[in-house]
Amino acid sequence: MSVLDAIIEGVREDLAARRKSLSYIQDAIDQAAAPIDPLPSLLSSQLSLIAEVKRSSPSKGALASISDPAGLAEKYEEAGASIISVLTESRRFGGSLADLDAVRSRVQIPILRKDFMVDEYQFFEARAHGADLVLLIVAALSQSQLNDYHQLAHGLGMRALVEVHTNDELERALEISPQIVGVNSRNLKTLEVDTQSFAELIPRIPNELIAVAESGISTRADVDFAQRNGARAILVGEALVRAGDPKAAVRELLGEDKVAQ
């Protein structure tokens, strides 16, 4: 069993334990704030940052305790992040839907629910807890699931970040006509990182789509490399949560590329 398979197995078990009726979740959606379209945020500058609230990871273990996820998200927003990514998977990443709720209550910019979305209930759940954007990992889904979940996300007023790791996955992603495509340099089956995937895959993403470079970004040089290969946005977690000054870390990564909103 690969790391990805093991994570998904745990996600399904945890989902089964918290699943409620669709009527319950629909009531929660009706009470939630209207979704914020992340596209304007991603298109507002030459390079946008998706800053992540992330306590731990399968590859590195504990990263940061993050007792106040909303406070951290506010710092990201103040420093110029365009979107906040909130890990909600609990077993390997130490996240929760409570983190999503807390962040939603304190920031004004769009929020990505970062999880392993393998069941349609999770999409209703994401919207009920205030997510504006969800993650679709091509490696974790069949083509029919990828297409159906992409449509479901849009039907609920959210956008989807469609994540790929290989050329085959990119071809599958492009079949569903995505607007945002992420290239993750970390192989979710082995956890190895190879940022050369940015050079191999991002140039193959059509220019009209928003290409996001994910994982393996911790310095301004890493950002430059991703941007030279066509990235319009970067998603960064570990480097920010481990930084003593998250605001300074955000500004350093964005450098001179972040224009005034």
Give the Cα separation of 78 and 80 in Å (integer): 6
Of the residues 52, 74, 89, 169, only one is catalytic, namely 52
123 by DSSP, 3-state: which? Answer: helix
What is the chain's length? 261
Q: Is 60 a catalytic residue?
A: no
Q: Total structural domains in the chain?
A: 1
Residue 165 · residue 139 · CB < 8 Å: yes
Give the Cα separation of 64 and 211 in Å (integer): 28
Q: Is 189 a catalytic residue?
A: no
| pLDDT reported for residue 137 | 97
Of the residues 85, 184, 185, 229, only one is catalytic, namely 184
Q: What is the pLDDT of residues 91-105, one digit of tens each?
A: 999 999 999 999 999
Q: Show the low-confidence residues of the chain (pLDDT under 70).
A: 256-261
Q: Is 101 exposed, middle or buried (0-12, 13-18, 19+ CB in 10 A)?
A: middle
- AA letter at 57: S
Q: Is 114 a catalytic residue?
A: yes
In the chain, % helix, strand, coil (3-state, to 5) comes to 45, 20, 40
Residue 191's region, left for phi above 0, alpha for psi from -120 to 50, else beta, is: left
Beta strands in the chain (DSSP E): 48-53, 56-57, 61-62, 83-87, 111-114, 133-137, 159-164, 180-184, 210-214, 233-236
Of the residues 74, 89, 214, 238, only one is catalytic, namely 214
Q: Is 52 a catalytic residue?
A: yes
Of the residues 125, 163, 169, 238, only one is catalytic, namely 163
Residue 123 · residue 16 · CB < 8 Å: no
Token pair belonging to 237: 């977690």
Residue 180 · residue 160 · CB < 8 Å: yes
| pLDDT reported for residue 256 | 59
Of the residues 56, 215, 229, 238, only one is catalytic, namely 215
| pLDDT reported for residue 187 | 83
- AA letter at 62: A
Q: Is 215 a catalytic residue?
A: yes
Of the residues 45, 57, 114, 238, only one is catalytic, namely 114
CATH number at residue 201: 3.20.20.70
Token pair belonging to 244: 């003593």
Domain that holds residue 213: 3-257
